[in-house]
Amino acid sequence: MRHLKDSPISLLCNEETFMSSANYLKNYVERVQDVPAYLRRHLALIRDLDEKVQGLQTEIEQHSSSKKKSAPKNYDLESQVTRLVSLADEKVTIAAQIYDFIDKHIQSLDEDLRNLEAEIKNDKERLGMGEDESATLKLESTKNKGRGGRGSVTAAALAAAEGVPEKKKRGRKRTLVEEEDDGTSLLPLHAENEPLYCYCQKPSQGEMVACDNEECALEWFHYECVGLKAAPVGEWLCPDCAKVANAISAVA
């Protein structure tokens, strides 16, 4: 008697599964091949804008400190501050574009993974194999539940579990600490559709602090990225928001 795994039906299902996997891999490569170039280009724009912001900030501070002594009469301090704010806004816009670009790719890849898992499950049911937890891909959507691993908590989950206000619901300075990895995650960290934070544009991990400027687009920052080793006392502004605030104070 021929074994089931050698039957034509089994071979056909295996071939279909292989083709589905091959198509998924092809789609994955096509989607991600333009990601590095896009990120390099836009991160270079942010770096260029940051250099302009720093240069203009220094210029404004110099003219502000000497405006009663030797500052040129034709130097418009207020217009320069306005330009500084405009450059900072442009940085935020580009950062948002990067986030949307990556988020779109992650959603597409998540959808491909779900479809592939469904096809594998259907093939097993047609073969009468039933559920085999050891062989089935473990895919957990962030819309339904978060993974227990470090860095896998979404902004919405943090808001519900930790009492942290979501974006635009600001109060006093807030910090958060990610859970330790319990070793139960079956997929690589950050493989699903997770929000990105901070200048580094990485998911939430370790200790983080929120900027108290309600207009700050990035809002959450990793301690190490902003040079913090402990939770700041009182109001805290990220470096970009602090620069703008200092420039406005210098004009006032």
Q: Tell which of 111, 139, 167 closes a domain.
A: 139
d(CA 67, CA 251): 10
Q: Is 13 annotated as a binding residue?
A: no
Residues 62, 16 share a domain: yes
Residues 150, 121 share a domain: no
Residues 236, 205 share a domain: yes
Give the residue ranges of the chain where pLDDT is below 50.
1-12, 130-173, 178-189, 191
Residues 239, 153 share a domain: yes
Name 207's bridge partners. 177
Q: Tell which of 139, 174, 199 closes a domain.
A: 139
Residues 240, 166 share a domain: yes
pLDDT value, residue 19 = 65
pLDDT value, residue 71 = 54
Quick check: 32 and 70 in contact, CB under 8 A?
no
Residues 47, 121 share a domain: yes
Residues 228, 169 share a domain: yes
Q: Residue 211's Cα: distance from chain center in Å?
A: 16
Number of domains in the chain: 2
Quick check: 223 and 206 in contact, CB under 8 A?
yes
Q: CB 57: neighbour CB atoms within 10 A?
A: 20
The structure tokens 């804008």 sit at 49
Q: Is 241 annotated as a binding residue?
A: yes
d(CA 58, CA 30): 44
Q: Tell which of 114, 139, 164 closes a domain.
A: 139
Residues 84, 37 share a domain: yes
Secondary element (H or E) of residue 176: strand 175-177
pLDDT value, residue 188 = 46
Name 197's bridge partners. 202
Q: Is 222 annotated as a binding residue?
A: yes
Residues 128, 17 share a domain: yes
pLDDT value, residue 192 = 56
* CATH value at residue 151: 3.30.40.10
Q: By residue range, what is the domain housing residue 127?
A: 1-139
Residues 212, 88 share a domain: no
Backbone angles phi, psi at 101, to 5 degrees: -60, -50
Predicted TM-score of the model (pTM):
0.42
Residues 45, 21 share a domain: yes
d(CA 184, CA 118): 22
